[in-house]
Structures are given as C-alpha cells and as structure tokens.
C-alpha cells in the first residue's frame, strides 16, 4: 500500500491549471470554458451579494471575494472545476465575527485563516479531512441551513426591530416575533414573488439562471411599481464601480490574538467545505483533485481576498456543480467566472442599487432549503442509534450553540462510536471457545474463523488463544481482563495473532503484562502469525525476543510449543528465535 499513495512533492502541489496546459489546451476547450464561466458568473452574481449582506457586510465585499478569491482558487487549485467565492456556510461565523470585532477584525481573521489553510496544505494535513464522519457533515450542513433561513426572515417579511438583530437563534426568533406588527406587505409581496418565480422557472426551465432571473424581475417590479422597500442602494448606498487598492490588515499582536479564534474556525470550515466541493466535482466528472494543493490555493485566495477587503473564500458546492454541468474543461472556467464578475463591477455596478433586499432574502431561503440535506438527515436518524446521536448532536449544537463546537463535538462522538464498534469486534478464544464474546451455537463461527482441530486441542500442556480483530487501545483493557481470567496453567501459551490486522502500543503493553505473568508461572509464550509491524511494536514496547518466541503461523508455533514441552522451556530459550 505504501507505493499507492506516495506522490512526489511536485505532483502533490502542481496546480491543475499547469496539468491542463501540459496536456494541451485547445480552442474548443476555451470555448467550453467561456460558456461555463459565464454561466457560473450569472449564478454567482446575486449569491455573492446576498451572502455578503446576510453576513453583516456590504454587498461589494461579496463580489470582491468572488472576483479575487475565486480567481486564485482556480489559478492555483488542485481541482479542475472548483469555483471559489463566499459561501452560505460561513454566514453564521462571519456575522458573529463582524458583531464582535467589526469589519476590520473580519478582514484580519480572513487573512490569518488563509495562512492557516496554506500551512494545513503544505504540511499535507488535508488528507485527514476525509476522516470527518459523514453524520457530522450532514449535521452541520443542515444546521447552517436553519441558521441561514433564520437570518433572512427579517428582510423577507420587511420587519422593523427596535435595536440590532440578535445573533443567537432563540433570541433572534423571539425578537422577530415581537416585531410581527411591523410587517411590510410590499416587502413580503416582492419576496413571495421572487420565491415563486424561482420555483416556477426551476420547475419548467431548470437550466435557466433562476436566481438572476428572479432578482432582475423583482428589481424591475420594485422600480416600476414604485414600492418603497429596502434596496441595496437605500441600505448600502450602492456598489462601487471599481476594486479597492490592496492593503495589509492591522497585524498588531493584540489584534492578531483577538482574530485568531475566528480565523481557526474559518480555516476548519473552509477546509471541510472546499474539499467536499472538490469531491463532488470528482464524482460528477470522473477526475481526481489534489487535496493539499487545493488547501494551499484556498489559503492564498483568502489572503488575497482580505488584502482587497473581501471575506472568507471557499469552494462552493452549488457553483462548482453548475460549472461541471455547464461543460467546463479546466480551471480557466473559474478564472473567467471571476473576470465576468469584474466586468459587472466595472460596467454595471450602479444597477445593483435597485435590487430589493427582500428578493435576496428569497434567494437565500431557496439556497438554505436546498442546502439542508433532508433525505440524508432522516436516513441517518433511522440508520442506527449511534449515527442518530452524532447527527442530532452536531445539528443542535450548530443551531443553538456554535458551529465550531458542533463540528468538534460531533467529530468526537463519531470517533468514540467508531472506537466502540471496533473494540466490540475484537474477540478472544481459548482453545477455540469464545471467552470474550456472547455465547453462540456450536455451529456458528465468525467468517474466516474456523474451529481449531483436535491436533491443536490435544495437549493439556499447551493452551492456544486466538485474538481476532484490530487490537488497539479501545480493546486492550477487555482483552487483558480476558487473558487474566484464563484458568489453565499450561507450560506453553500460544497467542494466535493470525487474525489481528494491527496492534498499537496499548495492546502491546497488554501482551507484555500477560507474558510477565506467564513467566512468573514458569510458562512460555509463543506468538503465532504476528505481522512485521505488530512484531516491531511488541519488541519496541519491551518484549524480550528470547523469552517470547515468534513463529510465522500456528503450525510452526505448535511445533515449537511441543518441543518446549518435551525438552523443557529453559533449554529452548537459549536458542535463537
């Protein structure tokens, strides 16, 4: 297995753009990328502004993120089809950071998260992201969807609050309910019109840019109808027609320490989201991404975005999937998507002032509904109690407590359940009789675990004990207790390790303790079938290769055991193993 995944440093960190150009990039591929890039830009335009507004910042920061960050994700990334930009998953974290530290603190946290992401990639830690349990990803994704939906209720219904909108969901819903009397019929009407148009167009013309169509139609209806409702122009003064000059954030020690916790959260969520998006692109296209290269690109993109005043960048699943479906051939599609958005900012930014916030709220409610993994959530609830606990704990903590806390607790619960399941798979049999598992019928044996023959069981001076399964710290205590309860006092114990795929130091310490007790009874221990790695760990832990004899299989171990019985253990221990 060592040779399968052993790629050179250059192979692991070569951007897919370089790979594509080496393969030969032709005009036909560029035409396909041009069409797909424009398609994704049409989808990203309203989403980038809506996500930025929902995150508590001005819409131009969302566009900056998609333009600058998205460009670097495609330029340096390890996926052919990844589209970078602001993501709905970050709304909760970004809005909380803005509320606590302001936009300046958010920009610094984005800068630091880029450095962290790049470090994760350089040190090749991106591979470990795949170990996050599936129930955790479903739980936090569904939880984020609920949070996004809750943040849009104010604009959707046109409510007016006495003070700032609370962040915690219970306080938020309480404040919104108390402001029900301020409902604005015009805002609600535009929001319902936008949502209905999205659903109708998606039903009958699924390949059309439904979000942009809804936003444009709602803007026209609001302007021509003379409705006095909140728009981007009335709330934010419009969208600038140029990008700001790049500037470094304040890197004073005090500011950095304050921004570090949200930066770590951004990096954690960003690594999960971007690699999940890359996996989706792989499954749709049949290609393979380079996870650590992708994380380095995400890091550079976040640093670049922060220099221009943008917010967090990550791989976006919906836009990446749109890119693949639109026929993209290379990362140039993503770079063109950023270019088209830049053209909009330079040429048509004043038009954004007419977009009603109620329409953007409808867009994000639609995104939240699609983002919630409803079928997967209920399937996990019904699958097993363990999966139900993990997905529910993650979901509830994300909704009612904190996103990072939900992910960490969910991951911890998932790891504990896995260890529990693995530990329960370990069995110990003495003379072929299970002594660490519930009773079974005489004719019932685990797959690959046939009963020992009479030849094995015939000598009362030899006790054979088979250990099956991954022998690790989760099972070490129970296996050690079983070995201690063995009542027989033979001259030779044979530990059959032929069905142990691996052991760790805790298991090795358990075996060492058993050997010491056997020696105190003047008995010898022979270990059969231990692999090279298992033997190395046992010897490293202090097992004496002279006192404990290793043999490659059970037959060789039994032959040695009979010699010990016949000749005497003291004479044979002087022989080399």
Query: Is 108 within the bounds of a domain?
Result: yes
For position 461, what pLDDT does the model report?
85
Residue 53 shares a structural domain with residue 143: yes
Residue 309 shares a structural domain with residue 247: yes
Query: Is 65 within the bounds of a domain?
Result: yes
Query: Is 198 within the bounds of a domain?
Result: yes
For position 487, what pLDDT does the model report?
59
Mean pLDDT over 123-132 rounds to 79
Residue 418: pLDDT band with limits 50, 70, 90: confident
Domain end residue (candidates: 402, 435, 457): 402
For position 141, what pLDDT does the model report?
83
Domain that holds residue 437: 425-572
Residue with the bigger pLDDT between 49 and 470: it is: 49
Angle (CA) 202-207-210 rounded to 5° is 45
Strands of the sheet containing 492-499, edge to edge, are 433-434, 427-430, 462-468, 492-499, 524-528, 548-551
pTM: 0.76
Mean pLDDT over 384-401 rounds to 91
DSSP codes of every residue in 200-216 = HHHHH-TTS-HHHHHHH
Residue with the bigger pLDDT between 180 and 433: it is: 180
Residue 326 shares a structural domain with residue 464: no
Residue 46 shares a structural domain with residue 79: yes
Query: Is 287 within the bounds of a domain?
Result: yes
Lowest-pLDDT choice from 66-70, 145-149, 336-340: 145-149
Residue 373 shares a structural domain with residue 477: no
Query: Is 301 within the bounds of a domain?
Result: yes
Residue 395 shares a structural domain with residue 274: yes
Residue 240 shares a structural domain with residue 160: yes
Domain end residue (candidates: 344, 370, 402): 402
Number of domains in the chain: 2
Residue 552 shares a structural domain with residue 473: yes
For position 192, what pLDDT does the model report?
97
pLDDT of 513 over the 70 cut: yes
- Which of 444, 517, 445 lies closest to 481, judged by CA? 517
Lowest-pLDDT choice from 79-88, 96-105, 197-206, 556-565: 556-565
- CATH label of the domain that carries residue 455: 3.30.750.24
Mean pLDDT over 519-540 rounds to 88
pLDDT of 446 over the 50 cut: no
Query: Is 1 within the bounds of a domain?
Result: no
Q: Is 361 exposed, middle or buried (0-12, 13-18, 19+ CB in 10 A)?
A: buried
For position 3, what pLDDT does the model report?
43
How many Å apart are CA 174 and CA 402, to the nearest integer?
Answer: 19
Query: Is 457 within the bounds of a domain?
Result: yes
R_g over Cα of the chain: 31
Q: How many CA atoms lie within 13 A of 15 on its CB side?
A: 19
How many Å apart are CA 280 and CA 213, to the nearest integer?
Answer: 26
pLDDT of 138 over the 80 cut: yes
Residue 343 shares a structural domain with residue 435: no
Residue 451 shares a structural domain with residue 527: yes
Residue 558 shares a structural domain with residue 431: yes
Residue 386 shares a structural domain with residue 481: no
Domain end residue (candidates: 402, 436, 469): 402
Query: Is 464 within the bounds of a domain?
Result: yes
- Chain CA centroid to CA 256, Å: 26
């Amino acid at each position: 297995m060592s040779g399968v995944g052993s790629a050179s440093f250059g192979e692991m960190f070569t951007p897919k753009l370089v790979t594509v150009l080496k393969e030969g990039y032709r005009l036909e591929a560029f035409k396909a990328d041009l069409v797909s890039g424009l398609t994704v830009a049409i989808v990203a335009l309203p989403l980038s502004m809506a996500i930025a507004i929902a995150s508590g910042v001005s819409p131009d920061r969302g566009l900056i993120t998609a333009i600058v960050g998205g460009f670097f994700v495609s330029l340096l990334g390890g996926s052919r089809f990844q589209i970078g930009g602001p993501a709905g998953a970050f709304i909760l974290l970004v809005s909380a950071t803005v509320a606590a530290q302001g936009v300046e603190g958010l920009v610094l946290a984005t800068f630091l998260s880029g450095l962290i992401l790049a470090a994760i990639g350089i040190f090749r830690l991106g591979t470990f992201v795949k170990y996050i349990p599936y129930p955790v990803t479903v739980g936090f994704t569904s939880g984020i969807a609920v949070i996004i939906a809750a943040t849009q209720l104010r604009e959707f219904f046109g409510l007016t609050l006495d003070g700032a909108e609370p962040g915690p969901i219970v306080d938020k819903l309480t404040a919104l309910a108390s402001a029900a009397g301020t409902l604005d019929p015009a805002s609600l009407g535009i929001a319902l019109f936008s949502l209905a148009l999205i659903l109708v167009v998606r039903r009958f013309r699924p390949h059309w840019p439904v979000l942009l169509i809804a936003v444009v139609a709602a803007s026209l209806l609001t302007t021509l109808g003379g409705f006095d409702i909140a728009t981007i122009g009335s709330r934010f003064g419009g969208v600038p027609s140029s990008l700001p000059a790049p500037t470094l954030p304040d890197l004073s020690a005090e500011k950095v320490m304050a921004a570090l916790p949200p930066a770590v959260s951004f990096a954690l969520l960003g690594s999960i989201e971007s690699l999940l998006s890359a996996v989706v692109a792989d499954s749709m296209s049949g290609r393979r991404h380079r996870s650590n290269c992708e994380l380095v690109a995400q890091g550079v993109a976040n640093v670049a975005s922060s220099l221009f005043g943008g917010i967090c960048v990550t791989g976006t699943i919906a836009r990446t999937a749109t890119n693949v479906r639109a026929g993209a051939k290379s990362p140039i599609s993503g770079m063109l998507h950023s270019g088209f958005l830049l053209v909009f900012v330079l040429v048509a930014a004043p038009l954004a002032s007419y977009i009603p916030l109620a329409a953007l709220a409808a867009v994000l409610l639609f995104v939240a509904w699609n983002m919630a993994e409803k079928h997967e959530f209920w399937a996990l609830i019904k699958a097993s109690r363990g999966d139900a606990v993990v997905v529910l704990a993650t979901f509830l903590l994300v909704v009612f407590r904190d996103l990072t806390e939900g992910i960490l607790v969910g991951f911890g619960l998932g790891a504990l359940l896995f260890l529990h399941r693995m530990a329960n798979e370990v069995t110990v049999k003495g003379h072929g009789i299970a002594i660490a598992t519930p009773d079974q019928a005489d004719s019932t044996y685990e797959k690959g675990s046939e009963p020992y023959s009479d030849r094995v069981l015939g000598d009362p001076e030899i006790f054979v004990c088979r250990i099956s399964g991954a022998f690790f710290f989760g099972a070490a205590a129970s296996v050690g207790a079983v070995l201690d309860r063995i009542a027989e006092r033979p001259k030779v114990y044979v530990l059959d390790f032929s069905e142990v795929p691996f052991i760790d130091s805790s298991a090795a310490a358990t075996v060492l303790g058993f050997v010491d007790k056997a020696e105190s009874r003047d008995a010898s221990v022979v270990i059969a079938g231990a692999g090279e790695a298992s033997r190395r760990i046992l010897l490293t832990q202090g097992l004496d290769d002279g006192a404990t004899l290793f043999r490659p299989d059970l037959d060789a171990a039994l032959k040695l055991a009979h010699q010990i019985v016949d000749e005497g253990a003291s004479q044979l221990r002087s022989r080399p193993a």
